[in-house]
Structure formats: structure tokens, C-alpha cells
Amino acid sequence: MPRYTISMIVSRLSNMSISLLLTAMNVIIVLISSLVFDWNIALYTMLNIYITGRVIDTIHTNHIKLTMQIVTTEGKSIRKELLDLIYRNITMSKGKGGYTLEEKDLLMMVVTRYETKTIKDIVRKHDPIAFINIFKTVEIDKEFVKN
């Protein structure tokens, strides 16, 4: 349990995943113990560590940042509710539909995977036909507030 807590703290301070940090700490422990015990046990232990790390990353996805782009005709009302409920910056710009040439609002924000369902629900409440594009953010070169 202490390793998991240390991993969570380091993950919040850096941009590394919890499974990577847990795996690194556990590999060090296994390598040291492999000097005393059988290598077969160490290899099975490493496999177990890898699988456990993948499961933790699947469940604990708060470190994964996503960029959401929302194309809508209801940008002002969506923006207002998002700012009231979710502590994230929103970049707004004007756009035009390529097919219809209709004026649209483009809202862009970087969020965690946990926040995407709430944001999609808010958007759908105001504009059921809004276009939402969600993609993985590789790096953020500015402070990202962790809620």
C-alpha cells in the first residue's frame, strides 16, 4: 500500500502514469530479491507486476489528458454550464460548417478521461446534434489543474 501511495503522489507531481511508477518500484524490489530467490519466481512476479500495472492504468485513468473539441450552435449556453460545473479553461472560436456554411461555435478544452461523460451530457442537453471530437493529448506545456 505505501508504494501505491508514493506512486500516486509522484504521478500528481509529474506527468507519469501510476502503473509505470509502480512497475519501476516493483522491478527494483524483484531484482534485489532475485539475488536471493529463484529466477523463475522473479520472472513470474515481473509478469504479475506488468499485468497489475495495466489493470491499474485501465481503472485509474485520471492521468490521461484528452482534448475535447465541440462544434455547436449553442456555444454560449454550453460554455456557461461547463464553467459553472467543471474547473477547466475553455477556448472559444467561431467556425463555419463546411457543408452548410452555417456559423458555429468551436469550444476546445483539455480534460481528464473522468470528466468526458459529464461534459458530453452537458453538451447533449443544450445541443443534441453537436459534433464532439475527443483525442488523446500527448503533452501539456502549461499548468494543468488536477481536480
Q: What is the pLDDT of residues 59-104, one digit of tens each?
A: 766 667 899 999 999 999 999 999 999 888 899 999 998 888 999 9
| Average pLDDT, integer, range 1-22 | 65
Specify the pLDDT at position 78: 96
Q: What is the pLDDT of residue 105?
A: 96
Secondary-structure class of domain 65-136 per CATH: alpha beta
Domain range summary for the chain, segments of one domain joined by +: 2-59, 65-136
Model pTM score: 0.60
Residue 70 contacts by C-beta under 8 Å, 6 or more apart in sequence?
A: 78, 105, 106, 107, 108, 123, 130, 131, 132, 133
| Residue 147, pLDDT above cutoff 80 | no
DSSP collapsed to 3 states, 106-143: EEEEEEEHHHHHHHHHHHHHHCCCCEEEEEECCCCCCC
Share of the chain above pLDDT 90, in %: 37
Provide the mean pLDDT of the chain.
83
